[in-house]
Structure 1
């Protein structure tokens, strides 16, 4: 092949912006009654005074700094590799809706927005501006499909809404055109051949990930059966628990633990108490904890680069001993490759999807009891249209037979935990939230 042809092939390969293997796993996993969306609620002080055109201009400016928000996911013919992103500059008016809600019904409205599927014929996000909150506040609800971003990279989108923090380097977008089948197939085969160079390293990483998941055992250990683990439906309910972050940090350091260790100890104990209220007393619970494979330098890259590790947390211990046990599990994990489980888990999920058995598996899995995601947010409040963002509430919709999950975000000195539950599985999320508040208070007093 001559130099010009090689250069042409290289440019073609560089320009086809395909989703990653992790993103593909996310995409094929979205088969349940509730979509795999993530969302964030930004409560803006005196936001009701902001006019609609100003909201649209602010969102358009933020989207200009996040090129992925101008891309649509393009399916590919069989044998042409993974789907890829193409340019699709939908007018901002088609991404933004407006409404009105009071404080008592805000989280109910957010849950409904998060559980609504996004149109696949445009970039996979939307925003809703809700006025009518107490003291003239308003809320910006941003919903995106999980294939667009994981929790850490999702902060990039939210940070772009802060006009003062925006990186004003102009339009950094590259062209993302659509391609003919022949070009896609040629690029896919080049990628497969190139992957052979990294095969040994990926096998080692997959082996480490299998150990993280416990599937290297001859007989894998299953999680306890609980009434919280039933196939979930299309609806979710949100309950917010908040605690002062400095107190959590002090308590964690005093115990030789981390903030995430304190959260995991509190969540597992609260779930144990809520199950005891139902007459169930499991000896332990298995909590799935995500670990990001990102480095500080690529936190702004969107997509999914996260693996999970199941933490088997004992319940028949006092609070101090349980926290020590969780901290020990965390320390053991820090020395292992980050996000290693993504490879074997993704391969297994994609294989089940090809067989048409993925939905049955996630509705009947016995690997984990719940999911806890924890993202470290900014230490100083963001601003939107010149107004202070007083609170940020994270939401993630998880499919399968996990009836309650916990989304954690530290923001401007507050640790917020969103309890996301299926109303048909968890009839009284308020009781579970009360147990969680009590556990956090007790752990900070140790």
Structure 2
């Protein structure tokens, strides 16, 4: 049976206001030539039952009949799994172009593109999916579930808003869910709206949500070249560093890898703002966080972290930032996420979402971070040599960064809108310098023990 979209799914749907589609994804660079696309389709089709959300599409319902549905449908793998050839030098540009392509809402919201790089003798995979389908960590789990070899993971549930899916094949021959009649949908929707005995018991939670919203709001950021309404398109630059020395340098200052990434990215943004003559002010970074879960779902909140301009000592800056993020993490309960999602839905419903985000002055930029496998994964018979996360741009936030740790390496993707494309190379170079500075803070004992995990306890970085 179809199931209702969650409030978080609908918040992501409301955020799909352009100019870029609300897509997120990952670029996996592989050893060896591109696998045969027919063989890739066969592997994906056989393993789709491990991620049933990938067999579901958005199904809208009549007015008054409640939230839209996730409906299981037959998956046309000829449409979803594609192949193309590219020059190695153009790989990032090709990946950006794929993520900029709108996805067909009449089908499950994802594509997988197999890219042959003949001049280099290697290949790559580009995964693209709508953010309403799942958040970043969920997408990474789904990709590895259907592509990683030598594993037999448990099926990934579709989250609270979706069933675990059929036990049988979920490829092209899978039957579609039948949609209940309008009358039944409307009755079920209105019954769910009737307050029950839990409504009074839930009042303390609602008060906690309001308190958490109040404590998570940031300062008003000044107008700058980094906060201007964006146009369609992405420019990508990639920074790659070893995880162990970065974790060691962070740990020497009582910080985590998350803190190191936050400091390096905010430092890079500060340097560009200073070069443009913008008055000194904290850079307010929006950091998405998710609840640790094995499900394929959306459960995303944010914490706003104001980062002061870099001082004379990177170690002192990092210690102060780590102390601040610890305090903020301790206050994160996730209670306000449901309320924030409802607000986004309401703003989207009246057509004001794009206007709101193009004029916002709450954040300067965004940093999202995901933790991948500790060992370099093998997919489709090939080792992953680099995993590059790709986020999205919306509103007036013209520069964002996405990080992913995988196989002992940390990859940071700097994403710029056309308005700030000229800054992409400099921002990437400054991020690289900042991460190298943190790594250099590790003394002989700084590398003792395993690297710090890339995400905080409790809610995990996305």
- Per the normalisation by structure 1, the TM-score is 0.90
Partner of 1:431: 426
Residues 175-201 of structure 1: CA deviation (Å, up to 9, x unaligned): 743121111111112222367625325
User: CA 1:203–1:36 in 2, change beyond 3 Å: closer, same or farther?
Assistant: same
Partner of 1:374: 369
Please say if residues 209 and 343 of structure 1, whose CA atoms lie closer than 8 Å, have aligned partners that are also in contact.
Answer: no
Partner of 2:232: 234
Aligned match of 2:352 in 340, 348, 357? 357
Matched, 1:37 2:32: no
Query: Which structure carries more helix by proportion?
Result: 1
Aligned match of 2:298 in 301, 304, 318? 304
Partner of 1:408: 403
Please say if residues 228 and 426 of structure 1, whose CA atoms lie closer than 8 Å, have aligned partners that are also in contact.
Answer: no
Matched, 1:262 2:260: yes
Partner of 1:383: 378
Q: Which runs of 5+ in 1 are unaligned?
A: 1-14, 215-219
Cα offset for 1:383?
A: 1.2
Question: What is the Cα-based RMSD across aligned positions, in Å?
Answer: 2.0
Partner of 1:276: 274
Matched, 1:417 2:412: yes
Task: Report the Cα distance in structure 2 between the residues aligned to 1:412 and 1:62, rounded to whole angstroms.
Answer: 23
Partner of 1:105: 90
- For residue 352 of structure 1, give the secondary structure of its aligned residue in structure 2: helix
Aligned residues: 422
Residues 190-224 of structure 1: CA deviation (Å, up to 9, x unaligned): 2223676253254034224313432xxxxx73122
Task: Report the Cα distance in structure 2 between the residues aligned to 1:149 and 1:347, rounded to whole angstroms.
Answer: 17
Cα offset for 1:377?
A: 0.6
Matched, 1:173 2:162: no
Partner of 1:12: none
Matched, 1:187 2:185: no
Task: Report the Cα distance in structure 2 between the residues aligned to 1:395 and 1:24, rounded to whole angstroms.
Answer: 21
Q: Which runs of 5+ in 2 are unaligned?
A: 158-163, 167-175, 442-462
Matched, 1:54 2:52: no
Matched, 1:443 2:438: yes
Please say if residues 238 and 419 of structure 1, whose CA atoms lie closer than 8 Å, have aligned partners that are also in contact.
Answer: yes
Partner of 2:170: none
Residues 130-181 of structure 1: CA deviation (Å, up to 9, x unaligned): 0025542111111000011111111221221102123277996247431211
Residues 59-105 of structure 1: CA deviation (Å, up to 9, x unaligned): 22332321111111111111221111112112211111110112210
Partner of 1:27: 13
User: CA 1:196–1:117 in 2, change beyond 3 Å: closer, same or farther?
Assistant: farther
Cα offset for 1:281?
A: 4.2
Task: Report the Cα distance in structure 2 between the residues aligned to 1:271 and 1:293, rounded to whole angstroms.
Answer: 28
Partner of 1:10: none
User: How do residues 333-348 of structure 1 correspond to structure 2 at under 5 angstroms?
Assistant: 333-348=328-343
User: CA 1:241–1:189 in 2, change beyond 3 Å: closer, same or farther?
Assistant: same
Partner of 1:70: 55
Return 128-137 or 386-395, whichever deviates more.
128-137
Return 227-236 or 422-431, whichever deviates more.
422-431
Task: Report the Cα distance in structure 2 between the residues aligned to 1:134 and 1:380, rounded to whole angstroms.
Answer: 27
Return 228-237 or 160-169, whichever deviates more.
160-169
User: CA 1:411–1:371 in 2, change beyond 3 Å: closer, same or farther?
Assistant: same
- For residue 233 of structure 1, give the secondary structure of its aligned residue in structure 2: coil
Matched, 1:396 2:406: no
- Per the normalisation by structure 2, the TM-score is 0.87
Please say if residues 232 and 418 of structure 2, whose CA atoms lie closer than 8 Å, have aligned partners that are also in contact.
Answer: no
